[in-house]
Structure 1
């Protein structure tokens, strides 16, 4: 359980609290249902036969695209469970500003977020002793080292990356160096010094003005660097070197060889290079010309003490991980895609059955006139549904059998499975927006509805308002789909998972007001049944991908737990602790 919870948190950036709450509710429901191997198999069937259909048939029509350029509505509620109100607003603003500056173009944002999440430790610097409001986003990157040699220059310059000392060694590793006299030894040292000076001249002739080294350079290297106008930053970490290589596309330079006069091509373009004083710590502030979509910027994160800065930095790194999920999709499983070819197997197909009265009511809703409904229209509607179930090959036979009907039939019918929903505007006036419900066609089978969609269950950038809307919607559509399912064990699991989903909004409303969840639940369910808009709060948005992955992760964890047949307890003898501190020892 701990491994699953940690894996979910690492993958989505979401906390483990919702995972534990939902897992406990599902396990409680399984215990009440009696558990057993049958429910274990039903859990696996539930994901393909009910959960994915509920997402495609109902949940998907409520999803909204994330508002372009507005990340604060996603970040503030995410940080709400980790930080105080004032802190989360300031950090949400800083996080959004860093994202926008690193990726000015929306198309580059997924790549920028991946790099920010992976390299955030190198893309921020903490400053204790200052208020959070003093935090800033700066262009370029800040290296938490001081210059070993600093030679000011104007305009662009070229930088060289090295990973080894530039002063040649007297001998190669593992090779014995033998000298016969002191004079021979001094001559060797003079040759090494001359070789080092030649290298610095070579760097100067290739317009290299900055040396970025992961190795500690000797004094003779620093001396000649200052002499020939080359700034040096040494002892950089491997992570910092990797970040610079990723931004600039430059690999470290191997300076020694038979030909030292060859042109140096592996250099990075630096727009500025200057010292930066962060309170009492001297750092190096460098601007790089990027060869990728990521435009390098860094965050100067201020706080009263180091512990607070570490907490804020950890929350922001997880926030970048969460934002990456906005650009991911949830696709249908392969067995669902191929299900149209297996519709003859009744055990694998969940068919919707409706009477003629239900069909007549559907036509009335489409045409708006109950006087125009005829038996022929009902027959046409039934035949249309049968074509979708039988498939294109068998439906041709059905069409040939219908040639005896000479009266033309025209049924007003919306064939688009998902109508366009009103966009959710974030910011001012958010409390006035609403979540529209699009009626679905109940005459279709689950498979027919699923095939009406693309292979994508949840598209990239899909969001919902925070506050339990995802759980309520999925709860409603799971129960709705379970009513028509022919397998009793899958129906039992469906109702159990649907009820367990409510544990999360229940936990959210515990601290709000008494009976707050009951009022919210009853109002939402009644509006869903009436196909009316749901009221929307102004508390922000959340990623639907993360919420859906939470459900999947919990179901997989439960399946693994149910595969355990027996737990054997092992008693270990208590270790004897000897008390050596006695009065006699004094």
Structure 2
């Protein structure tokens, strides 16, 4: 029997305490000015990193709710390629605000009503007039503007510039036309493991891009051939077996055994000759072939590459449209039609390792190229490869849209109508969470426990965050400034912040001449976030969304929704506060006041030439955090299972009656 025990659901103060501890563990590595953590592996290798997912996975988290928070942050990161550290920081700020506001019984429903009514309106009517839609196909310059700030949160200054250029160039070469860019990004994100080769011991500047793909195996048999050649994919040994699996083969004498070997030899030679007669010059195998197959392949001029990884075989099948060949059966000598066409096939020396370099003719718009990624040690190469793969995942999000659930109300309509009251009809489903292999207790978990180092697997050493007191000071100051001036701002100032301006914001995102909210609601009634929407990086999204949430919160007649709106609006400022932590005491305060004053005066936002970020990714971050908060507040019972539950089968017997 499985021993289990239950404990009460964590209350809001305890949830905030656990989230704040997680935020304290990752806040020091947030943003381009963040520090690095040092992960010590069991092998003794020390790997510096700023990756939020690695930091969260390195923590030894005992509290079930904290484990849920870390899991949701990593899930969001896997889906969008970005935001694990920002997720935790924003989550802690939202829970802290709800705790300070004294959340009531209707808090969960108010959170959902806020998302459907206030958040969507703030994005559809407010953010829309500030973002800019990226040109179709994402030109290389725009790719670098998106990639460099993304990599700045994970890598050093010299690394991020070089890798951003390599990443943009790889996208351009794999997708020469704009129409092929979405498909190229999808393949680069899914198949990046097979589209790059790491070379340790060389500087990053030696990295380059080669046409075709590089297989990290040497030739088992190499027969040089010029011009185009046909390649065959196989996933099983070509040497025939004497019997089928599970069938016993009995040999009565040595003569029978030798006759069996001669039959295998003749069969193998006939099969290789059949490949040659069908103009097959290259054999790509996911399994290791017998020495007899290699011998006859060399004899008949067929090159062989064996023991290919599943990712490499899947990539080749996807770009060539060829399925693996099954040689055995009654029709073994049938004509071989499913072969890939390779423009070249040659050995390649990467560092001290011999590889195979093949140029395939693609049947889709994606043109295969391979990134040769150089670095001083394997650990650094792993970090660079992981950052680039997630960067391609992030770029995929630019082509996605978000549809509105609630109908956007025109500006001229009365704000006292019943349709403008925030409400939510569905009631949240009660949930319970089962946490296996842990021992649950009701004691509060301290921040030190959440920051505990991983047990003999990875150890985290992170520089302390020197801005905690400054963040609290700036939060109270900025909130007070906004409260003093909120009543004096008219609807026109809030909704028409970009009207009539022909200047550009930061020379990157121009303020377009906007029509009224009526026109916006009519033209974009079904689209909340348009594909390709970008904003300047560095806290602009959070400031803008904070600004517009506070305005639309005033239209809600439900007090709980208004409270949640103000909590989320203030929590959004926690991210730019962490980004602008410097030795200058009023760094964030200056940035915040300049941005808000520019909005009120219909002026471009303060200059920022550090790059762009996806509006879709940032919006999904806010939504994911709200869903995580709702899930945490919906937990009714936590059950800790010390042993796996045994499956009990129900068998009827005479004793049962």
Q: TM-score range by the shorter chain?
A: 0.7 to 0.9
Deviation, 1:439, is: 6.0
Deviation, 1:523, is: 1.5
Which of 344, 348, 373 pairs up with 1:272? 344
Residues 434 and 139 from structure 1, CA distance in 2 versus in 1: closer, same or farther, beyond 3 angstroms?
A: closer
Which of 18, 22, 30 pairs up with 2:90? 22
1:164 paired residue number: 236
Which of 457, 469, 489 pairs up with 2:528? 457
Residues 569 and 160 from structure 1, CA distance in 2 versus in 1: closer, same or farther, beyond 3 angstroms?
A: closer
Residues 8 and 439 from structure 1, CA distance in 2 versus in 1: closer, same or farther, beyond 3 angstroms?
A: same
Residues 103 and 528 from structure 1, CA distance in 2 versus in 1: closer, same or farther, beyond 3 angstroms?
A: same
Which of 436, 442, 455 pairs up with 2:511? 436
Map 1:108-507; keep pairs closer than 5 Å: 108-333=180-405, 335-336=406-407, 346-350=417-421, 431-432=506-507, 435-436=510-511, 441=516, 450-507=521-578
Residues 19 and 432 from structure 1, CA distance in 2 versus in 1: closer, same or farther, beyond 3 angstroms?
A: same
Which of 57, 61, 65 pairs up with 2:133? 65
Contact (CA 8 Å) 1:57, 1:440: kept in 2 or not? Answer: no
**DSSP-derived class of the 2:595 partner:** helix
Contact (CA 8 Å) 1:19, 1:550: kept in 2 or not? Answer: yes
Contact (CA 8 Å) 1:43, 1:490: kept in 2 or not? Answer: yes
Residues 295-340 of structure 1 deviation map (CA, whole Å, 9 limit, x = unaligned):
111111101111111111111111111111111111112x54899x
Deviation, 1:131, is: 0.4
Residues 532-582 of structure 1 deviation map (CA, whole Å, 9 limit, x = unaligned):
2223311000111110000000111111122235669999xxxxxxxxxxx
**DSSP-derived class of the 2:281 partner:** strand
Deviation, 1:136, is: 0.6
Deviation, 1:268, is: 0.3
1:34 paired residue number: 102
1:52 paired residue number: 120
Residues 245 and 492 from structure 1, CA distance in 2 versus in 1: closer, same or farther, beyond 3 angstroms?
A: same
Deviation, 1:422, is: 6.3
Deviation, 1:516, is: 1.4
Residues 39 and 6 from structure 1, CA distance in 2 versus in 1: closer, same or farther, beyond 3 angstroms?
A: same
Which of 549, 556, 562 pairs up with 2:633? 562
CA distance in structure 1 between the partners assigned to 2:539 and 2:83 by the alignment: 16
Residues 345 and 3 from structure 1, CA distance in 2 versus in 1: closer, same or farther, beyond 3 angstroms?
A: farther
Contact (CA 8 Å) 2:497, 2:600: kept in 1 or not? Answer: no
Residues 167 and 476 from structure 1, CA distance in 2 versus in 1: closer, same or farther, beyond 3 angstroms?
A: same
Q: Is 1:541 aligned to 2:616, yes or no?
A: no
Residues 223-280 of structure 1 deviation map (CA, whole Å, 9 limit, x = unaligned):
1101110000011122211111111110000111223331100100011100001111
CA distance in structure 2 between the partners assigned to 1:107 and 1:130 by the alignment: 36
CA distance in structure 2 between the partners assigned to 1:210 and 1:338 by the alignment: 64
Considering only aligned residues, what root-mean-square deviation do their CA atoms show, in Å?
A: 2.9
CA distance in structure 2 between the partners assigned to 1:245 and 1:439 by the alignment: 48
2:622 paired residue number: 551
Deviation, 1:82, is: 0.9
Structure 2 unaligned spans of 5+: 1-68, 423-489, 643-657
Contact (CA 8 Å) 1:53, 1:450: kept in 2 or not? Answer: no
Deviation, 1:16, is: 1.5
**DSSP-derived class of the 1:187 partner:** helix
- Normalised by the length of structure 2, the TM-score is 0.72
Deviation, 1:512, is: 6.4
Which of 133, 150, 156 pairs up with 1:78? 150
CA distance in structure 2 between the partners assigned to 1:423 and 1:362 by the alignment: 22
Deviation, 1:166, is: 0.7
Residues 319 and 282 from structure 1, CA distance in 2 versus in 1: closer, same or farther, beyond 3 angstroms?
A: same
**DSSP-derived class of the 2:71 partner:** helix
Map 1:520-539; keep pairs closer than 5 Å: 520-539=591-610
Of 183-192 and 142-151, deviating more is 183-192
CA distance in structure 2 between the partners assigned to 1:57 and 1:543 by the alignment: 18
Contact (CA 8 Å) 2:498, 2:603: kept in 1 or not? Answer: no
CA distance in structure 2 between the partners assigned to 1:433 and 1:144 by the alignment: 41
CA distance in structure 1 between the partners assigned to 2:189 and 2:602 by the alignment: 41
CA distance in structure 2 between the partners assigned to 1:338 and 1:531 by the alignment: 23
Contact (CA 8 Å) 2:132, 2:510: kept in 1 or not? Answer: no
CA distance in structure 2 between the partners assigned to 1:328 and 1:454 by the alignment: 17
Structure 1 unaligned spans of 5+: 352-360, 366-413, 425-429, 572-586
Deviation, 1:438, is: 5.0
CA distance in structure 2 between the partners assigned to 1:19 and 1:156 by the alignment: 51
Contact (CA 8 Å) 2:502, 2:513: kept in 1 or not? Answer: no
Residues 563 and 513 from structure 1, CA distance in 2 versus in 1: closer, same or farther, beyond 3 angstroms?
A: same
CA distance in structure 2 between the partners assigned to 1:208 and 1:469 by the alignment: 58
Contact (CA 8 Å) 1:164, 1:214: kept in 2 or not? Answer: yes
Which of 73, 77, 84 pairs up with 1:5? 73
Compare CA radii of gyration and give the structure with the larger one.
Answer: 1
CA distance in structure 2 between the partners assigned to 1:440 and 1:565 by the alignment: 48
